[in-house]
């Protein structure tokens, strides 16, 4: 069984990947309290005698608005931290996978495929792209976009934020003139199962099969979970981003390489989540 050492194992994406693939791979979790990736000495000593086949690097500073005022911390974790783990893993001649984001693209000229040219807007996006540059073509980069799952106590994804508002009869103001590509984390898990077994040092996009506006996404959540759609108001991209961290407007990301797992559209993902929640 392949041994996968990973950072960020307790996070939104990592914890679900482990739940889904724990019978297929042996996961060795390296939480921050054991190995702070910003501390090169700690990274060296944690990895020195560790036996693994692939290092799966998920840990990151992920607070997009927070990054605008915490640039230094964001870069320390996402850039220096990535450099620390990547260089140490390279010295051990082991395979490495870096998880990145659709936000490396500016959203001006969609769609974006694996070899589209990044142009990140915003501090978080820039830090993730700097991380990609450290990896270059020496290891695998997997870009994901707007990941969501049925349940997770520690952090709400966009889907569960919408659901929480609608469930609690709170109004939502949603953008009509922008696009996002929601990705069901269970599909990311299935895609990763293939990529762990078929490792190659190149870029892959593991992203949902359709791009929709945040407004349409909220409407879909209301429809599938039978909430009151009239709680969802419309706004524009320009109106929404006033005073906020910049977001790519048309974040249509696609894959020209994923011929190994059929990713769901948002509606199919929601139907599967509803099934999981009522099981
Ligand atoms: N969520 C999204 O919308 C999204 C979209 C596209 C791409 N991504 C990428 O997907 C990956 C996973 O995201 P996520 O949403 O699952 O993350 P998350 O839930 O915010 O979790 C982040 C993880 O990073 C770890 N971490 C932070 N600082 C660390 C440090 N100094 N040393 C070691 N570990 C540290 C945290 O560990 P502790 O809990 O121990 O602090 C936590 O497990 C990230 O690389 C992110 O950039 C996420």
Residue 116 has pLDDT above 90, yes or no: yes
8 A C-beta contact, residue 91 and residue 84: no
Q: Does the CB atom of residue 59 touch ligand 1 within 6 A?
A: yes
Question: Which atom number of ligand 1 is nearest to the Cα of residue 37?
Answer: 32
In sequence order, which ranges of 49-150 are alpha helices (DSSP H)?
A: 64-69, 71-75, 81-91, 123-135
Residue 119 CB partners (closer than 8 Å, separation 6+) = 104, 105, 106, 108
Give the tens place of pLDDT for each residue, 69-90.
Answer: 999 999 999 999 999 999 999 9
Which domains can be identified in the chain, with CATH numbers?
Answer: 3-155+182-209+252-264 (3.40.50.720)
Percent of the chain topping pLDDT 70: 100
Ligand 1 contact, 147 CB (< 6 A): yes
Tell whether ligand 1 has an atom less than 6 A from the beta carbon of residue 185: no
From the CA of 13, give the closest atom in ligand 1: 16
Cα–ligand 1 centroid distance for 233 (angstroms): 31
Q: How far is the CA of 61 from the centre of ligand 1 (A)?
A: 6
> Which residue in 162, 192, 184, 178 sits closest to 57, CA to CA?
192
Q: Report pLDDT for 262.
A: 98
CA–CA distance, 207 with 22 (Å, rounded to integer): 22
Q: Whose CA is nearest to atom 21 of ligand 1?
A: 11
Residue 243: pLDDT band by 50, 70, 90 thresholds? confident
Q: Decide: 16 in ligand 1 pocket, CB within 6 A.
A: no
CA distance to 58, 80, 106, per residue, from 127 (Å): 14, 10, 14
d(CA 117, CA 108): 12
Q: Is 190 in the pocket of ligand 1 (CB under 6 A)?
A: no
Mutate to test the pocket of ligand 1, among 9, 11, 112 (most ligand atoms within 8 A of CB): 11
Answer whether 0.95 is exceeded by the pTM. yes
Question: How far apart (Å, rounded) are the C-alpha atoms in residues 84 and 98?
Answer: 13
What's the mean pLDDT in 157-161? 97
SS (H, E, C) 29-76: ECCCCCCCCCCHHHHHHHHHCCCCCEEEECCCCCCHHHHHHCHHHHHH
Distance, first Cα to last Cα, the chain: 30
Cross-strand partners of 96: 55
Three-class SS of residue 136? coil
Average pLDDT in the 210-218 region? 98
Return the SS3 of 245.
Answer: coil
Whole-angstrom distance, CA of residue 161 vs CA of residue 184:
15
| Distance from Cα 212 to the centre of ligand 1, integer Å | 25
- pLDDT level of residue 102 (50, 70, 90 thresholds): very high
CB 273 within 8 A of CB 149: yes
């Amino acid at each position: 069984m392949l041994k996968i050492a990973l950072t960020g194992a307790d996070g939104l994406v990592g914890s679900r990947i482990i739940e889904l693939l724990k019978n297929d791979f042996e996961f060795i979790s390296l939480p921050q309290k054991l190995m702070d990736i910003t501390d090169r000495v700690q990274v060296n000593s944690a990895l020195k005698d560790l036996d693994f086949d692939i290092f799966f690097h998920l840990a990151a500073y992920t607070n997009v608005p927070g990054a605008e005022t915490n640039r230094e911390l964001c870069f320390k974790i996402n850039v220096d931290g990535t450099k620390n783990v990547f260089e140490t893993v390279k010295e051990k001649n082991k395979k490495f996978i870096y998880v990145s984001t659709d936000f490396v693209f500016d959203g001006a000229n969609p769609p974006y495929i694996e070899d589209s040219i990044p142009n990140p807007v915003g501090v978080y996006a820039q830090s993730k792209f700097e991380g990609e540059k450290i990896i270059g073509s020496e290891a695998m980069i997997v870009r994901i976009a707007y990941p969501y799952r049925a349940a997770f106590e520690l952090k709400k994804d966009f889907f569960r934020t919408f659901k929480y508002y609608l469930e609690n009869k709170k109004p939502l103001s949603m953008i009509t003139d922008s696009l996002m590509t929601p990705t069901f984390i269970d599909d990311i898990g299935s895609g990763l199962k293939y990529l762990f077994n078929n490792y190659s040092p190149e870029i892959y996009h593991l992203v949902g099969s359709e791009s929709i506006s945040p407004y349409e996404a909220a409407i879909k959540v209301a429809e599938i979970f039978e909430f009151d759609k009239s709680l969802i108001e419309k706004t524009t991209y320009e109106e929404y981003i006033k005073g906020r961290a910049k977001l790519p407007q048309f974040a249509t990301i696609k894959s020209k390489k994923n011929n190994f797992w059929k990713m769901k559209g948002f509606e199919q993902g929601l139907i599967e989540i509803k099934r999981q929640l009522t099981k």
